[in-house]
Amino acid sequence: MKKRKAYELTYNEELTVFRFTSEGPKGKIKKVIEFSPYEETIWNLGFGDEKEGDWDDSIVSDNDDLRKVIQTVANAAHHFTEKYPERRIFINPVDERRKLLYNRLFKEKFEEILLFFNLEGVDLSAFKIYQYEPSRIYDAFVLSRKKSIFETQTSEK
């Protein structure tokens, strides 16, 4: 698997809030990734530009570093699920543009994602979750960390 460029992350002790700075033609833009409880074991992944001590997921930065930003968000998801393997991550795009972008990215990276995560697609109008199929368009996504063979093995005596 190819190592991809990503921004350096800073994070809180609980690994629920991550920060990094995007650098490109529009300058340095502070970004925030936040995992917040949605249900008991489902956590929402929120992401956006830092704004007045909070963050805004409706801003389109267009700082010419999309791949690096996406890899940075993926790294945060890895860190979060390493600490909390029982938690599932809910990814709900805030608009149609991002919905299509996320569908394209998940389709493109599907095989690589499956090395670490189970991926499900969500149809919000039907309130249904499906096993992800790259040929379909989904409203939202759910990631859950796969158990490694080392976590599932037991020692014999």
Q: What is the dihedral of CA 55, 61, 64, 67, to 10 degrees?
A: 40
> Tell me, what's the pLDDT at 23?
97
Phi, psi (deg, nearest 5) at residue 37? -65, 135
Pairing of strands 27-37, 10-11: unpaired
In this prediction, what percent of the chain has a pLDDT beyond 90?
A: 80
Handedness of CA 104, 106, 107, 109 (dihedral sign): positive
pLDDT digits (tens, 9 = 90+) for 5-61: 999 999 999 999 999 999 999 999 999 999 999 988 999 999 999 988 788 787 888
- Chain centroid to Cα 31, Å, comes to 14
Element (H, E) at 144: strand 140-145
pTM metric for this prediction: 0.88
Paired tokens of 81: 């699920």
Q: What average pLDDT does the segment 91-112 reach?
A: 95
Q: Domain locations in the chain?
A: 10-152
Q: How confident is the model at residue 154 (pLDDT cuts 50, 70, 90)?
A: very low
Catalogue the E-assigned strands of 27-105: 27-37, 42-51, 54-56, 88-91
Res 157 pLDDT > 90: no
Interatomic CA distance for residues 80 and 58, integer angstroms: 23
| Helix (H) or strand (E) segment spanning residue 123 | strand 117-123
pLDDT beyond 90 at 66: yes
Residue scoring higher pLDDT (155 or 85): 85
pLDDT in tens, 77-91: 999 999 999 999 999
Confirm if 7 and 19 have CB atoms less than 8 A apart: no
106-142 tens-digit pLDDT: 999 999 999 999 999 999 999 999 999 999 999 999 9
